[in-house]
Structure 1
Amino acid sequence: MLAKCLELDSKNAVSILSGYVDHFQSVESEDVGWGCGWRNIQMLSSHLLKQRQEAREVLYGGSGFVPDIAALQRWLELAWERGFDTLGSNDFDQKIYGRRNWIGTTECAALFRSFALRARIVDFFGKDVSFDKTVGKRKVMQVYGPMDKFLLKGDSKIRDTVLSGDGSCKHSDIPFGNIEGHQVLIDWVWNYFSGNNPIQSGNRRVILSGKSPLYFQHDGHSRTIIGIQVQHQINGMQHYNLLILDPAGKTRALEKSLKENVGWQKLIKRGVHTLKKDQYQGLRLGQKVMGVTLSLEIERTPKKLFNRRMSGGKKNRCNSATSSSGSEDEDA
């Protein structure tokens, strides 16, 4: 539905989308105020299960559906037990099932890495932010697992940490500060979605990249970036909008606005001027599954995890595209 709306948007705009994504909203009686991280994991999972067969085979024991929050909590505990993000797990005393704990980018990375999916966390820091500052509830860059090795530099303004196929990590430093720094974040998102020969859909106004959505974290909240739009202005300048699904939004209202092509821009588009935090984190998932044997862990997983139905309120197919064949960087 979003793709169709974007095709009818400004004639001078080009949008790049990840493809199929379901919207999961926080529910008043279940997780409002603490569940945004879990809802974003559900959104990323909906994309992986629909568009990537190799991920579908390993995610959640091959069950083929998006687990509810309680089941995701057990999967995260299993990831901790297997040695992923052991330092981070200490913040929760290695227990999170049944609790109303906020989670962040590191928990998301640990969960997906436990299924042998490559995960990259990128930190965007303002010029006055040190690495002792936190995003959300605790320090950043704390995903330590059996395949993780981290290189830390105290003078970094943007930290780009990637788990490579051989278990090593790569990172790069880029100057960052205020509006210009926020533009660096926008450029990173644009380069991510626009790389590797995107697939065109309909006309050149909308392109399907085949890339996974991005987990997008800042202090106190997280959302899912499903694409980016560039508008070419008369003066030759370019204006960028992140295309975002927010778990705080109502799925029914989003669905209605997309069907009627009215008001959806306020719910999904976010320009550079809206990036007012000093610190952001992004998480991207790689295209390929690493060669890690998971059969033993799957066999030991309680069967009730496989029998849970999807929850999280109503979901909405915001990108009505079918699966695409875009590829990801080998080391992403």
Structure 2
Amino acid sequence: MGSQCPFCDSSLPSSQLLCRANAHLDSFIDHSIHPSPSQSLPREQPAKSNNSLNTPTYLSDGGSSSDNGECKVNDKVSCVIGSQATSEFHKVEEGLMTLLRNCLESEAGNSKSVLSGYVDHFQCLDSEDAGWGCGWRNIQMLCSHLLDQRHEARKALFGGSGFVPDIPSLQRWLEVAWEKGFDEPGSAQFDHVIFGSKKWIGTTECAALLRSFALRARVVDFGPKESLFVSGSGVDNSGNKASNMVKGKSKRGEACQVLMDFVWNYFSDEGSIQFGQQHVVMSEKTPLYFQHDGHSRTIVGIQVKHQQEGLLQYSLLVLDPAHSTTALERSLRQKVGWEKLIKRETHTLKKPQYQLCYVDPGIASEKEMEKLKTIHSVFLEF
């Protein structure tokens, strides 16, 4: 039997009425705590959240306005599915990766490039997430690939919605992941609340979110032995595989060559890809969530050029959420200035530590899901 929503007067089944009302309350809270464009905070000064404002208050069947942890996880999942909204973004006709491939193929010289498959670019917006939202935007880019390229992921992600949710919806999904027991130490660092906040997130939160959908998200740390990321507490089941992707430090002593070796072997699947007469090939691997102190981006591929005397010059191919999608599209279509926006050579990697997140194929079993709740990382020393 249908009922009428008290907020929007929509007629809908009684079973959906509660979730619809909660969605209206969440929307009101979200708009009330987000600053106007003039109040956007710079990246160097992330805002501290006020948990009393950021925690949504859900209605219960008995009319109480307090959640207090009484709502079961399954009920919360249903509420998030019912209230999640698609993220607005500039969709590039033909696909951004197709345009990038055309640019790479048009380059002269002895080069080879490996690219991930389909990826949409999600940019940070001054009116929404400038200065703090890059982590969420990278999750959106990674999910755009998963939804397009992997059938099992499309069925598993976001209740089978088939679209990339906006940041507030992703924040709700991360809270559900925490409540399910994924990354309990990380959840505690955020006081178990992320919805509505402008706190920075990173690869660990990305992994926890994706693992809660039974996806095999992996984390890899790069840095000096004496310095580890907070998630670098062990080696998971992909440890040997990840270590095999690195041939060792560069002969020139450039520590970041370890990272370049890993990325090249990751996308080329440790040499299984055959170039033949092609200069650019597509990989079945997911993009890489690329984190370092102060910012994060998405690695969608890698290029290697053969220099004189047998030297190899590597360039990461990166989509930066701080860039405008329309500017990226224009530069790629005109084949002018795109290298400056997308290519990152070894000498540009000046941070002492880096962290990556990627997703292995398949869906985890129930037994494996329990192991995935604890997030370890593979550590590779510079």
Higher Cα Rg, which structure = 2
Q: Which of 140, 146, 169 is residue 231 of structure 2 equivalent to?
A: 140
The match for 1:247 is: 321
**2:194 matches 1:96:** yes
d(CA) in 1 for partners of 2:167, 2:267: 28
Q: Which amino acid aligns with 2:176?
A: L
Most deviating of 93-102 and 283-292: 283-292
The residue identity in structure 2 corresponding to 1:223 is: R
Q: Take 2:168 and 2:142, find their aligned partners in 1: how far apart are those partners?
A: 17
CA offset digits 1:138-162 (Å, max 9, x no partner)? x333xxxxxxxx53xxxxxxxxx33
Match of 1:184 among 240, 258, 271: 258
Secondary structure of 1:181's match?
coil
User: What amino acid does structure 2 have at the position aligned with 1:238?
Assistant: L
- Paired residue for 1:50? 148
CA RMSD of aligned residues (A): 2.4
Name the structure 1 match of 2:303: 229
Name the amino acid aligned to 1:5. Answer: C
Q: Which residue of 1 aligns with 2:93?
A: none
Shift of 1:192: 0.2
SS at match of 2:132: coil
Aligned pairs (5 A) from 1:71-220: 71-126=169-224, 129-131=226-228, 139-141=230-232, 151=234, 161-163=235-237, 180-195=254-269, 197-198=272-273, 204-220=278-294
> For residues 253 and 129 of structure 2, what CA distance do their matches in structure 1 show?
33
Paired amino acid for 2:114? I
Shift of 1:242: 0.3
Q: Quick one: percent identity of the two aligned structures?
A: 59
1:78 alignment partner AA:
V
Give the equivalent residue in structure 1 for 2:334: 260
Q: Is the 8 A contact 1:125 1:176 kept in 2?
A: no
Cα drift, residue 172 of structure 1 = 5.2
With CA pairs under 8 Å and 6+ residues apart, which has the higher RCO, 1 or 2? 1
Give the Cα separation in 2 of the matches to 1:195 and 1:103: 28
- For residues 89 and 23 of structure 1, the distance between their equivalents in structure 2, rounded to whole angstroms, comes to 28
User: Structure 1 unaligned runs (5+)?
Assistant: 142-149, 152-160, 294-332
User: How far 1:93 moved relative to its partner?
Assistant: 1.0
* Kept after mapping to 2: 8 A contact 1:199/1:209: no
8 Å contact from structure 1 (residues 216, 225) kept in 2 = yes
Q: Which amino acid aligns with 1:140?
A: S
Aligned to 2:64: none
Aligned partners of 1:231 and 1:192: how far apart in 2?
17
Q: CA deviation at 1:268?
A: 0.3
Matched, 1:68 2:204: no
Residue type at the aligned position of 2:303? Q
CA contact (8 A) 1:49 1:56 kept: yes
Over residues 57-110 of structure 1, what are the superposed CA-to-partner deviations in whole Å (9 max), with x where a residue is unaligned?
A: 101111000000000000000000000001110111111111111101110010
Per-residue CA deviation, residues 167-215 of structure 1 (Å, 9 max, x unaligned), is x9988598779952200110000010011633769x5111101110001
Structure with greater proportional strand content: 1
Q: TM-score, normalised by structure 1?
A: 0.75
CA contact (8 A) 1:215 1:222 kept: yes
Change (3 A) 1:213 1:130: same
Structure 2 CA distance for aligned equivalents of residues 170 and 239 of structure 1: 24
Query: Once the 2 structures are TM-superposed, how far is the Cα of residue 230 of structure 1 from its aligned partner?
Result: 0.3
Which has the larger share of helix? 2
